[in-house]
Structure 1
C-alpha cells in the first residue's frame, strides 16, 4: 500500500471515529509494522485491505483500555476470528466485552463469571472440559461468541432478548441497552 493511500485511509478513519475518541495524527512506526504483520496473519477477513482498515480503526478505539499495541492487535484478531466464526459482528462483541469486563481478561464477577466475556464456569462442566481456562482470551471468546450466537438464533435475531439471555436478565432491558449503547456510540462500524 503506498504512502498516499495510507495517509488517505488514516484521514478517513479519523473522520469516522466517534467524537471524543483518543486519536493520533498517524500511527507510530512500530504500531504500523506490528499492524502489517498482524494483517498478514489474520485469517477471518475477506481481504487484506479490510483487515488493515478494521484492525487500525479498532486498535485506535481500544488503545485507552489496552495500551500495549501487540496485546490489542492479538485480541482484535481473536475477536474478529471468533465472532466471524459464530456469525456475529466483531464490533458487537467488542461492545459486549466493554460492558462485561472493560477488557480485563482476569475479571471475575460476583457470581463467578470469568474473563473478558464473563463466561459462567458451569459451561466447562457442561462440555466436559474442566481443564479450559476462561481467562485465556481465545478460550473465553470461543465460549462467549458461541453462547451469544446460540441465544441470538434462539431469539430469532432479537438482539435485546439474546443479550438479556446472555446476561441472565431475560425480561429486562438495562443490560442489553447498555451493550447496544456502547455498540452504537463507540464500537459500531458503518458498512
Structure 2
C-alpha cells in the first residue's frame, strides 16, 4: 500500500504544523513505548508480510448480508460516539468515519478482534496520529520504523499516515499472534517489546473492554 507523493507531502506538513503548534511542541513525541524488537524473518514470512502491507484493496469491506452491513453501521455509529466522548485527536466526523472504516477493514482482513486493536491504540497512542514514543515508534499503533525497511518501501514517515499505520499495525499484530499461536498475552508482549511481562498486555486487555460492541 504505497501512498502517493501528494498525500505523503500533506501528511508531513500536518506533522510539522502539529508539532509546532502553541502548547503542543514536543507533545507528538509522548506515547507509550511500542518497542517491537527487530527479529530475523524467513524469506517466506517476509514476502507474505510485504504482500499484506502492500495490498491496494479498497477500505470498504464486503458484506455477506444486509444484517451484516447493518451491524457494521451500528458499530461505526457507536464507536464514533465513544471517540467523541474521549475527545480524541479525531476531531471531525470525516476523520472518525475514515479511521473507523479503515480499522474495520484491516482488522477483518487480518482476522483481528476490533475491540482488541482499539484497546491497543488507546494504550499505545491514545488515538494520536502523530504520536512518537521514546524509542521512535510512530502513529496510532506505534509502529517501529524498522518495519518499513523489512516489509515496506523504507519510508518511515509514511507511518504517520492513518491508512499506512493501521495496515502495518494490524499486519504486525497478526504476525505476532501467529507466532504465539493465538496467545494474546504473549503476542501483545511481543508487540510492545516486553514479551512475558504483564503490565502491557494487562493494560491493552483492560482497555479492550471499553470498546466491546455486541449490538
Asked whether the two chains share a fold, i.e. TM above 0.5, the reply is: yes
Task: State whether residues 110 and 174 of structure 2, in contact with CA within 8 Å, keep that contact through their aligned partners in structure 1.
Answer: yes
Larger relative contact order (CA 8 Å, sep ≥ 6): 2
Alignment counterpart, residue 166 of structure 1, candidates 191, 205, 211: 191
The residue aligned with 1:60 is 81
What do the CA deviations read for 1:136-178 (whole angstroms, capped 9, x no partner)?
0111111110110111111111101100000000010100000
Secondary structure of 2:122's aligned partner: helix
Number of aligned residues: 150
Picking from 115, 118, 123, the partner of 1:94 is 118
Among candidates 67, 70, 92, match of residue 49 of structure 1: 70
Residues 45 and 115 (structure 1), Cα distance of their counterparts in 2 relative to 1, 3 Å cut: farther
Query: Aligned Cα RMSD in Å?
Result: 1.6
* Alpha-carbon separation, structure 2, partners of 1:189 and 1:154: 27
- Could you tell me which of 166, 169, 172 is aligned with 1:144? 169
- Paired residue secondary structure (2:160): coil
| Structure 2 match to 1:6 | none
- What is the match of residue 104 of structure 1? 128
CA distance in 2, matches of 1:45, 1:107: 33
| Contact 2:112–2:170 (Cα < 8 Å) also in 1 | yes
**Contact kept? 1:44, 1:84, Cα under 8 Å:** no
Q: Partners of 2:202 and 2:76 in 1: how far apart? A: 26
Q: 1:165 to 1:44 in 2, by over 3 A?
A: farther
Q: 2:20 maps to what in 1?
A: none
- For residues 98 and 128 of structure 1, the distance between their equivalents in structure 2, rounded to whole angstroms, comes to 25
Alpha-carbon offset, residue 43 of structure 1: 1.9
- How does the TM-score come out when normalised to structure 2? 0.66
Partners of 2:130 and 2:138 within 8 A in 1: yes
1:135 correspondence with 2:160: yes
The two structures have a TM-score, normalised by structure 1, of 0.74
